[in-house]
Structure 1
Amino acid sequence: MIPSSLNISRSALELLFDLLSTPKMELSAEQFKSRHEYRELLAARLLTPVSSTPVSVCIDGRDYDIIPNATGPGFGYFSAGAGWVNVPMEDLQRYQVDSLRVFAVLRNWLDISDRSPIASLQHDVIWDLGDTWVGKRKLAVLFVRRAHLPVSMHLLRQALQIFPRRKSAMVLTDLPFHHFGPDLPGEPLCTDLMGLISPGEEAVSTIDKELIADLLGLGIPKRNQNGPVYCSEDGGELVVNGETYRFNGLIHRSIIRQLYEAWQGGESRVRKEVLLETAESRSNTISQAFSGCKNEWRKVIDYGDGCGWLKVE
């Protein structure tokens, strides 16, 4: 479960994607201690300690082969000048990126439902994170690791050839890449993650979908500040009399958008059956449909006599 309030500093996020692009996605204890951002990533569980028998240690930038101590517990190495050198166990600890946790955070930031599993399209290189809505357009979101390498782009081209949603896909990458050769099948939008983060944003807790829309040439309409009610195109953000309410579930968003469009069209109420059927909900009542949502929804939605409506006044 990813908390919606998870914030990561920009500098830590940059280090995370740099580390994600390395072969083993690992760093040594010396590297870990050198940057406070790594401790931030560990606290967010985006890094995890590696439990394995140590084979080497980095001391002052130089790697030494580690062997077990023949006369006692622990490990060490032979130095030409100092002979046998014991190495504290904390200096042998290594840390690795928890890629699935990273993908879960990205899905949370992009409002991708966690009901469907993350699918690997090419082992350790390409993943299908699921679908998100940008305005009225549904996008399949893929993630490519080590995107700066030609072999990764070759694998992406192969994967897209058989990917059924390639014509409505967006490819996110760990590092910027230079694309050579023929166009990718489906011609998806390709961008590195840091390219979707505003340069002035120091604490990152979401990804700007309006920027994605601009890159796609969609141009999500800006919020109308004049009226008492604003609703985003996907129903995920509702503003009533200056108070903002956010909805993550696809069913919740559909109902919110229907109620908003009805209110905008001068209709005060919408039949319950219409709301639930259009939202593809299996619930029998509006309250059941919102049972997994925070109780704040009751501040802006009312229902009765087989109808539902926005509480604007």
Structure 2
Amino acid sequence: MFINTVASYLPEQVITNAYFEQLNGLTDEWIIERTGIRQRRKASSEENTNTMAVMASLKGLESLPYDKNEIDLIVGATYTPYDVIATVAHAVQHAINVPEIPVVSISSACSSLLNAIEIVQGYFAMNKAKRALVVVSEHNTAYNNEDDTKAGHLWGDGAAALFISKERLSDSDWEIKDVITGGAGTIGKAMEGVTLKPLERGLIMPYGKDVFINACTYMPKVSRQVLERNSLDISDISYIIPHQANLRITKNVAGTLQVPEEKMISNIQYLGNTGCAGCAIALDENKTKFQKGEKVVITVFGGGYSYGAMLLEV
């Protein structure tokens, strides 16, 4: 599989840590020390998961090297849906006007990006599609409880779109060499660590320590697995993009994998936790930095204790 184009969308409104200091007394220093977050983006009252996904997709179409009508699969991913019936993927289909193709959505917490790409991999393997659009979008602030001093300050909004083909279409395509995903729902506080119950308190993280420990375990573990499966060593990797959950997790993963922190790509400092969209947004932000032949690993961990890794070659 090959990524032909990647694009992202971020809301204009910026929420700094000063907002939370006024709201519930959490200081800028306290938040930065524990999370690395200095600011985050917040969708406006006119925006939602679907509108952000559409904006990212339309932006991607501007540089797509083929006609949009050649897209024959759309896979959406989010755990913060605007509508659970007419899903984010169907909203994108409606907006870009590509009729009568397979359109599905998936939710596996912050790992949804890689599970969506695995769905594409399956459609390609069965010869049911050749050119797919994966769109990831999170409207965390629609569900977040800002008064929650444990997790209310973590979340940001954003979306990204990846256009993926079964065959290489140009020299500028990135090759998806491998994808591994898994579920660790049987361990620790997997069923309680991060929850989003819309009719209750919304998006909360009552067991942050357990989430932290297992994220720091599974992201290095699955990163090594995807490298070993492709006969590569960590020294062969130019960059690692971890799930944008906590800067301390990123630094811990770097230490476990024994890679310099400058190889770790992070946007949580200025975007907050953007869920399953975070790594894809980081891909778009850094696409001009990557050089031909470089290898990049994306590694993720999410609530319910979903996890995965993907190996890319530029």
TM-score, normalised relative to structure 2: 0.28
Q: Considering only CA atoms, is the larger Rg found in Structure 1 or Structure 2?
A: 1
TM-score, normalised relative to structure 1: 0.28
**Greater fraction helix:** 2
